[in-house]
């Protein structure tokens, strides 16, 4: 089992990164087209994350367990945080498009969406 996991790891990580990039692009697009502080914007961003999570779980990880789905969700959240930190440093100004402004309580919804969306579509039985 360990050997199989090790051999499959580069493919799994590249899929996780690819689908995160798609979700991040949709979230960025929603942030640019809708007022970023509105509940509608957070709803559209959450729907985009859930849609990409569904695509990932059905197309890439069909037999994934809940553990795998939560690993993917946490990885997506880490990628989002790192991307925001990197762009904030690179642009020289605050950049909160993927998670939302720290001043807003709606930011928590997006953070839970990044983590929990893949788990919605995980296989719940062995």
Phi, psi of 123 (to 5 degrees): -75, 125
Do the domain assignments include residue 8? yes
- Residue-range definition of the domain harbouring residue 90: 2-121
Arithmetic mean of pLDDT over the chain: 86
* Residue owning tokens 């930190």: 85
Q: Tens of pLDDT along 76-107?
A: 999 999 999 999 999 988 888 888 888 888 88
Do the domain assignments include residue 126? no
The count of domains in the chain is: 1
Name 26's Cβ contacts closer than 8 Å, sequence gap at least 6: 45, 48, 49, 51, 52
Angle at Cα 7 formed by Cα 5 and Cα 9, nearest 5°? 65
């Amino acid at each position: 089992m360990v050997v199989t996991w090790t051999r499959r790891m580069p493919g799994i990580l590249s899929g996780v990164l690819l689908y995160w990039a798609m979700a991040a692009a949709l979230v960025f697009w929603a942030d640019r087209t809708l007022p970023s502080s509105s509940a509608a914007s957070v709803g559209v961003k959450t729907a985009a994350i859930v849609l990409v999570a569904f695509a990932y779980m059905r197309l890439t990880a069909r037999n994934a367990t809940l553990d795998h789905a939560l690993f993917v969700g946490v990885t997506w959240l880490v990628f989002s945080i790192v991307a925001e930190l990197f762009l904030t440093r690179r642009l020289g100004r605050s950049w909160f498009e993927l998670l939302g402004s720290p001043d807003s309580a709606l930011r928590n919804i997006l953070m839970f969406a990044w983590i929990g969306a893949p788990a919605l579509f995980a296989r719940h039985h062995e």
